[in-house]
Amino acid sequence: MAEAFRGISKIRFEGPKSKNRLSFKHYNPDEIVEGKKMSEHLRFSVAYWHTFRGTGADPFGSATRTMPWDDGSNSVANAINRVKVAFEFFEKLGVNFYCFHDRDVAPEGETLAESNRNLDEVAKALKDEQARTGVKLLWGTANLFSHPRYMHGAATAPNADVFAFAAAQVAKAMEVTKYLGGSGYTFWGGREGYKTLLNTNIKREMDHLGRFLQLAVEHKRQIGFKGQFYIEPKPKEPTRHQYDSDAAACWAFLQNHGLTKDFKLNIEANHATLAGHSFIHELQYACGMGILGSVDANRGDELLGWDTDQFPTNVLENAMCMLTLLDNGGFKTGGLNFDAHVARESTDLADLFHAHIGGMDAFARGLKIAAAIRKDGTLKDMLKSRYASWDKGMGKKIETGKMTMSDLAQYMLKKGNCDANESGRVELLENIVNEYL
């Protein structure tokens, strides 16, 4: 096949002084940070749907990008051709992972059987390209939101047949993910929510979603798929309310349905801000509960209320993300998946490279900053000192369950009063972080 990205060769690390815009200034895959290669810390992944199926179309206008290799048809041959282009891109960019939905890679047929056959054919091509390049599948997923049959929901649809169709689709997508050696499988419930409560039975729908995920766990065991399951929280869009609205809602849901052992979360930056939280809040909440699995690395727009899926170029935010990850042992099965698209007006093929290079460099800087903050140790020491009263004496007795409420009343009656705590030192902490940027 002819080269798709002519004139663009392998993107290399050239350091911060390089004037070559198609090079990495900070991402140096083999550089060791805290005893591990940068590439192993960051585990970058390209999102097939944005980078190879995104056209620039939005609700107000049509496609702006033409992909010279795409013949515009819905054929399997076109899909297979696209696979080759995608792997040329992964190789030139130097990412080790990619993610896809079933319908991104292969066309939907007239019947489920035809769709499955299409997917099998494309999966063969994906497998060949993986073998040729060494690029791996970070996670697979099923698109349970684009087809009109899912307009009322998939697992939470009011029609049981739609639930059954969605189950069949997930079973197949999971089998293909296994066939491709994927390290994970993601559930993002784009339409698992509602438009109006006037036609919605919340309890029944959420129980159906719980049942759906239990069936997925059973199927996973049956087929011997060893990858990690993730739920990706998002509060709204396209639905008015999505049940998996944030990390805390997911944690409650997993507990209610006996799913805590089988699921971790895939935290997306822009979904956190849509939920009214910071990206770092969602990461730290998930880490606190022991359920951080993977990250959809992107960025929202403070002025807009929807998922703008911009590339993650905010160095401070990326540094805080990497600090959280390093403090919690880093990725096991997950990675940083660029669930991001170029702007509608970015129409050069090279823009796809610039976008990813920007995200990768900004995360490489974030990693180095996080490692420097950890090496210095001041933040950690200050955090420890803030909770020092719990490490000894009364605090320790309370934490280990040795005190009753009347014991505490007695203790305080005797003591008479108490101070608040040492200063929270909010501004000083912020200044310390800035010292490393």
**What is the set of active-site residues?**
101, 104
Residue with nearest beta carbon to ligand XLS: 188
b/e sequence 222-237, b meaning 16+ C-beta within 10 Å: eeebebbbbbbbbbbe
User: Is 97 among the residues that bind ligand XLS (CB under 6 A)?
Assistant: no
Nearest Cα to Cα of residue 185 among 226, 157, 214: 226
User: Is 232 among the residues that bind ligand XLS (CB under 6 A)?
Assistant: yes
User: By rule CB under 6 A, what string of x and - marks binding of each residue 264-293 to ligand XLS?
Assistant: ----x-------------------------
Among 65, 208, 234, 264, binds ligand XLS (CB under 6 A): 234
User: Is 307 among the residues that bind Ni ion (CB under 5 A)?
Assistant: yes
CA 318, 321, 327, 330 torsion: positive or negative? negative
| 205 binds, options Ni ion, ligand XLS, none, Cβ within 5 to 8 A by partner type | none
User: Is 339 among the residues that bind Ni ion (CB under 5 A)?
Assistant: yes
User: Is 268 among the residues that bind Ni ion (CB under 5 A)?
Assistant: yes
Among 296, 297, 323, 334, binds Ni ion (CB under 5 A): 296
Q: How far is the CB of 188 from ligand XLS (least distance, A)?
A: 4
Q: How far is the CB of 276 from Ni ion (least distance, A)?
A: 16
Size of the site for Ni ion (CB under 5 A): 4
Nearest Cα to Cα of residue 349 among 19, 22, 13: 22
Those residues whose C-beta lies under 8 Å from the C-beta of residue 233, and which sit 6 or more positions away, are 244, 245, 246, 247, 249, 250, 265, 267, 268, 271, 275, 282
d(CA 275, CA 258) in angstroms, rounded, equals 25
Of residues 296 and 361, the one with the C-beta less far from Ni ion: 296
Compute φ and ψ for 234, nearest 5 degrees.
Answer: -160, 135
The pairing of strands 228-231 and 184-187 is: parallel
User: Is 307 among the residues that bind ligand XLS (CB under 6 A)?
Assistant: yes
Of residues 101 and 220, the one with the C-beta less far from ligand XLS: 101
Of residues 101 and 365, the one with the C-beta less far from ligand XLS: 101
CB-CB contact of 5 with 342 (8 Å): no
- Count other C-beta atoms under 10 Å from residue 196's C-beta: 8
| 141 binds, options ligand XLS, Ni ion, none, Cβ within 5 to 8 A by partner type | ligand XLS
Strands annotated E in 8-121:
12-13, 23-24, 32-33, 36-37, 44-47, 97-101
Of residues 31 and 237, the one with the C-beta less far from Ni ion: 237
Within residues 327-366, the interface with ligand XLS by CB under 6 A covers 339
User: Is 192 among the residues that bind ligand XLS (CB under 6 A)?
Assistant: no
Q: How far is the CB of 379 from ligand XLS (least distance, A)?
A: 31
d(CA 336, CA 371) in angstroms, rounded, equals 17
Size of the site for ligand XLS (CB under 6 A): 10
Q: What do you get for the CA distance between the two ends of the chain, in Å? A: 44
- Angle among Cα 340, 435, 375 to the nearest 5 degrees reads 85
| 229 binds, options Ni ion, ligand XLS, none, Cβ within 5 to 8 A by partner type | none
Of residues 184 and 210, the one with the C-beta less far from ligand XLS: 184
* Binding positions for ligand XLS, rule: CB under 6 A: 101, 141, 186, 188, 232, 234, 268, 296, 307, 339
* Binding positions for Ni ion, rule: CB under 5 A: 268, 296, 307, 339
